[in-house]
Structure 1
Amino acid sequence: MVESSLSPQPAAPAVSQSTLPGTVQKPATFIERFRLVLGCLLVSLPGIALFLLIREHRVNIPFLDDWMFVHMFEKDALGTLTVADYFMVQMEHRMAFVRAVIMVFHKVWPTDWTMQMFFCWFLLVLTQVNVGVLIKRTSGKSFLTWWPLLMLAALTLFSPVQYRIVLWAMMFQVACPAFFLSTALVAVTSPWPLWLRWIVGVLAASCATQSFASGILVWLLPLPIVWFGGVIRNSLARHIFGALWLVAFGITMVLYFHDLKNEVDSAFAYKQQDGHETLKSDLAGFLKEPGRAVPYVLRFLGGHLGRGSSLSVMHASFYAGLISVLLYTGAMAYLLWHWKRLDIRAKLLPWLMFGAYSIATACLVAVGRMWASTNGDNAIAPRYAIHPVPLTVSLIVLTWLIVRDWQKQRETPVRTVNRAMLAMAVVLCCVQAASWVHGQHLMEMWQSSRLRGAVTTRFVKVMPEMDNVVPVNPHYAILADRLGLLDPPLLKDRQLNNFRLAPKMLSSNTARFKNIEIGMDDDGFYGIAEGYACLASRERVADGVFLTRRIPREGRWEIFHVEQVTGMPLFLGEMFFKDTQFVHLPGQSVTQEVLAGFSGRFRLNELPPGLHDIMAWAYDSKKNTVFPIAGFFELDTRGAHPKLKRLGTNPAAVHLSKFLEGGKNPQPQSQPATEE
């Protein structure tokens, strides 16, 4: 294909005074340099902040769908991995690109699953770069003019509200479509040779398709720009380009949908383990029930902006999505009104297509997932928070471009319009500020939960039957451990000395083993251990609560049960500490039982017959350290009926003083021993 001379060429450099004979280039002023540095700093800060948040809150353990790649690693180790394995279908997704990237990370960092999280961040950075390139091309202005737009876009792109994406290893897959779409848009709007534009665009669309099902849209969205955006002026070249693009698209779709059925374990297919068909789509229901479909789509589009206030997320997301759709409709109407102007088509079409990805994805998700929820609350699932981001980014730029164009057509610019645009930017900044603060708390909450899940996973060999909020997959965990993929590895025994023993007890205000209730059912006697457990300075709740018995002759402590704190997220304590005074709560203290309480049930036959000293330890996974918790008991399992004796809070009652820095640390006030 040969480009016509009418095709857009790179803009000729502006003739400055330095290019004229006898003139000297005027150096940049201090103000200009300061504005440039300030702009670069503010544009970069959101990405830097998210990088630091990921580094702080990452947890190096596979989670849910991450485990399904363990079989791929096993096949690789056995030499039986084939190309077909890369194209295996998970639900409606073919994930060859995702599997290829994960295999690269497996080869380079076999035990570090968090590198995939940083790769997700890297994709967001590249997306921001593409957005900056598109702003420059569509505005024709310098960085000093449009850096505030890129800053607002960065606040949206790097928002920690996407915590369930950037802190979940394999979820970089959902960051791929926006990156590859922006790459395709950069390619088709570039002054590169047509063959290079076609290759880059097709590669981007192919990789997006092999990442996530909505990546198929990357094949379709650049075409209006090719046909109507003035990027290829020669009619014959344009038709050849579009025809070859469609041929590649058609071949890809035939291969993609051939025998498309879920091929992974049902545990990794949404709802399939409950007997539902994961690939089910309900187009008829979507069209026949607009009362359900429209709110679902709007909530999907506003989900990333609806968090961070005291408003209901369902309501806030709905209105954020509604405003976004209205603004997008207004931008589309402006384009259609000025359709005959090639310059306005060239400016607006790339951004309208970038935003169209979010709207089309919202509709596709509604068709494929609306049936799974009666009230549509799955539309605001945190794992979907990245898909509406292109719409928000496009609206930021579209508003600026349209206002500038409208003002240029008037003899006298209307200052009120510029002020209104500035007010909209301020509102968006306020919304994003609330979202960022809330997103940081959500990251803390997610990290704490994943650390607790990691602790439970480490015990699957020695305690196969444990309760956890997210069910542990023992088969995959043991296989991953055998392949050397886990750091730290699974435990081989229950000895407490597998962990570093802290020499000082936690304060009773922070952690306490309050009680053991003895009960009986058809299977025999059981105990219910109750208390609360935070780490020192309430950094977070304990990553695990270990119930232990002392082996008398050896003096060692053996873990016989692992329990988890099941309270509300700890950050809520600071928010509601005073507001919950004189309010009925499931405990006496918000910061203790309500936010850090644990209640674990264990069978007494887990203990050998005998007289046992019982105590609990709070585990800090980051330090691999267990901290003794005040509250000690003596449990006698020798007779027909077990007997429990309370030993108070003095560690000497269970011979623990050797762990407390020679017994010099102040101890909690002891309580008299009682027997049940």
Structure 2
Amino acid sequence: MMGILIITYSVNIPYWDQWNLMPQLFIKISQNSLSWQDLIAQHNESRKLFPRLIFLGLGYLTNWDVRYEMLAIFLLACLVSVNIYRLNRLTLRLNLFPTLLLGFLANILIFSGIQYDNWFWGIQLVVFMPIVCITTAISAIYSRLNIRYKFLICMMLCIISTFSYSNGMIAWVIVLPVLILVSAKSRSDLLKQKWLFLSWIAVFTTNIIIYFYDYQKPELAPSIIPAFQNPEQTLQFLLAFLGSPLGSGAQISPLIYSTFIGGVEIGIFLCLCLYLIKHIQDNSLLERMIGWIMIGFYAIFRRNFL
């Protein structure tokens, strides 16, 4: 249904940041002056290298018809859905009907119509890139691939995530614990593969250095100091921000409703974490839960802290 709505109601008009992000690149391509610095240049807090490449490719094929960017967003959401379904099959080990039911419930959130701004604004492709990379990486970790291939795939996906959206760099921290707990069954396995983990740290460090080289804090970016000076307001903001995707359109005050929903979400997530801590000795449970827990951490940290 969401795909049909996008095809039916999308409009070929660039909007807001799209005018700042792409026309200069098209002009430079026509003048044969496009450089690496143009592709990796900072846009707000992000370095949108890989989204720029996608936008350039689509622009070349479609004469910059931004409706195709919206379809690309939809396809990325479909990939997230497939990854969630695969993780259900690989970790929960349920029968087909419960797996399909969980997939259906997940899709209600993934393809939620309440995020219509994302579906109908081509540049929002950058928002979907990190979660696509993270769920694809975690799905690969639970597969039967050789551990070296898993590390290589995950590193490539984390690089794409980092240079797609500002909070995408969290992928390095989110994916590594899953790699360790799922791929290494014992301490001896960790020691045998220590060069892989050292490589991970080296590539991550290189990414951070490149990302923050000549980084300029955006003028409109607020200071973090007031957040510590007003902890109650900060907590309310964090909860409201977390619950806002499910809080809009309510007859109750959207702010109150979003804050309540955010509190419920945090409460459920903390209960899951406490359950895992209580059964930390159960290696099978830990291995099957860690992927979901880290996806939950990304959902919380990406919305509230970056």
The offset of 1:242, in angstroms, is 2.2
Letter in 2 for 1:219: W
Matched-pair identity in %: 24
- Structure with the higher fraction of residues in helix conformation: 2
Equivalent residue number for residue 226 of structure 1: 179
Does 2:190 match 1:235? Answer: yes
Give the Å deviation of 1:96. 0.3
Q: What is the Cα deviation at residue 280 of structure 1? A: 4.7
- Specify the alignment match of 1:166 in structure 2: 119
Letter in 2 for 1:256: Y
C-alpha change, 1:280 and 1:295, in structure 2 (3 Å) is closer
Question: Is the CA contact (8 Å cut-off) linking 2:83 and 2:139 kept in structure 1?
Answer: yes
Describe the superposition over 1:500-529 as per-residue Cα deviations: whole angstroms up to 9, x where unpaired: xxxxxxxxxxxxxxxxxxxxxxxxxxxxxx
Map 1:285-434 → 2, pairs under 5 A: 285-365=226-306
TM-score of the superposition, structure 2-length normalised?
Answer: 0.95
C-alpha distance in 2, partners of 1:313/1:190?
Answer: 42
Equivalent residue for 1:95?
48
Pairing partner for 1:55 from 7, 12, 36: 7
Q: Deviations over 1:30-76 (max 9, x none)?
A: xxxxxxxxxxxxxxxxxxx1101111221101111111210110000
Q: Distance in 1 between matches of 2:65 and 2:304?
A: 36
- Larger % of strand: which? 1
Compute the displacement of 1:225 (Å). 1.7
Separation of aligned partners in 2, 1:106 and 1:261: 28
User: Aligned-pair RMSD on alpha carbons?
Assistant: 1.5
Query: Given the alignment, which residue of 74, 99, 109 partners 1:156?
Result: 109
Any idea what SS the aligned residue of 1:230 has?
helix
Hey, what's the Cα distance between the residues in 1 that align with 2:214 and 2:64? 34
Counterpart-to-counterpart distance in 1, 2:257 and 2:193? 44
> What residue number does 1:470 align with?
none
Distance 1:331 1:106 in 2: 44
Q: Residues 226 and 242 of structure 1 are in contact (CA less than 8 Å); yes or no, is this contact kept in structure 2?
A: no
Give deviations 1:619-658, integer Å, cap 9, x for gaps. Answer: xxxxxxxxxxxxxxxxxxxxxxxxxxxxxxxxxxxxxxxx
Code of the aligned partner of 1:345 = L
Give 1:279 deviation, angstroms.
4.4
Deviations, residues 59-96 of structure 1 (Å, cap 9, x unaligned): 10111111121011000011111121100101110000
Q: State the Cα distance separating 1:190 from its structure 2 match.
A: 2.1
Conserved 8 A contact 1:301-1:359: yes
In the alignment, which residue of structure 1 is the partner of 2:213? Answer: 258
C-alpha separation between the residues in 1 aligned to 2:144 and 2:229?
45
Contact 2:17–2:123, Cα closer than 8 Å, also in 1: yes
2:247 partner SS: coil
Matching residue of 1:245 = 200
Match of 2:167 among 190, 204, 214: 214
Whole-Å separation in 2 of the counterparts to 1:230 and 1:59: 45
| Structure-1 residue corresponding to 2:90 | 137
Describe the shift of the 1:73–1:148 C-alpha distance in structure 2 as closer, same or farther (beyond 3 A).
Answer: same
Residues of 1 paired with 2:243 and 2:40: CA distance? Answer: 32
Tell me, in whole angstroms, the C-alpha distance in 2 between the residues paired with 1:53 and 1:297: 31
CA contact (8 A) 2:241 2:304 kept: no
Is it true that 1:73 corresponds to 2:23 in the alignment? no
Deviation, structure 1 residue 230? 3.5
What does the per-residue CA deviation read over 1:416-452, in whole Å, with 9 as the maximum and x for residues that have no partner?
xxxxxxxxxxxxxxxxxxxxxxxxxxxxxxxxxxxxx
Gaps of 5+ in 1: 1-48, 263-271, 366-676
CA contact (8 A) 2:141 2:182 kept: no
Q: Secondary structure at the match of 2:145?
A: coil
SS in 1 for 2:246: coil
Question: In the aligned structure 2, how far is the partner of 1:188 from the partner of 1:287?
Answer: 38
SS at 1:221 equivalent = helix
- 1:588-603, aligned counterparts within 5 Å? none
TM normalised by structure 1 equals 0.44
The 2-side partners of 1:239 and 1:331 are apart by: 30
The whole-number CA distance in structure 2 between the counterparts of 1:288 and 1:199 is: 43
Structure having the higher Rg: 1
Question: Which residue is 1:178 aligned to?
Answer: 131
> What is the number of residues matched between the two proteins?
302
Letter in 2 for 1:60: N
**What SS is found at the alignment partner of 1:66?**
helix
Shift of 1:243: 2.1
Cα distance between partner residues in 1 of 2:98 and 2:250 = 32
Q: Which moved more, 1:131-140 or 1:322-331?
A: 131-140
C-alpha contact 1:261 1:279 (8 A) present in aligned 2: no
Contact 2:242/2:304, CA 8 A, preserved across alignment: no
Which structure 2 residue ranges, 5 or more long, are not aligned? none
Distance 2:193 2:142 in 1: 13
Letter in 1 for 2:11: V
Tell me by how many angstroms 1:171 deviates: 1.1
CA distance in 2 between counterparts of 1:204 and 1:281 reads 31
Letter in 2 for 1:243: L
Deviations 1:191-211 (A, max 9, x none): 201221111111111111111
State the alpha-carbon separation in 1 of the partners of residues 143 and 204 from structure 2: 21
- 1:79 is paired with a residue whose SS is coil
Provide the rounded CA distance (Å) in 2 between the counterparts of 1:119 and 1:219.
24
Q: What is the match of residue 71 of structure 2?
A: 118
Separation of aligned partners in 2, 1:70 and 1:199 = 34
| Alignment-mate amino acid for residue 44 of structure 2 | M
- Report how far residue 288 of structure 1 moved: 3.4
Q: Shift in Å at residue 239 of structure 1?
A: 3.0
For the 8 Å contact 2:158–2:168, the answer to whether it is kept is: yes
Contact 1:184 1:218 in 2 (8 A): no
Deviation at 1:290, TM superposition (A): 1.5
Q: How do 1:489-528 residues align onto structure 2 when only pairs under 5 Å count?
A: none
Asked if 1:107 corresponds to 2:60, the answer is: yes
Inter-CA distance 280–303: structure 2 relative to 1 (3 Å threshold): closer
Equivalent pair of 1:91/1:278 in contact (CA under 8 Å)? no
Q: Structure 2: how far apart are the matches of 1:72 and 1:65?
A: 13
Pick 1 or 2: higher relative contact order, CA cutoff 8 A, min separation 6.
Answer: 2
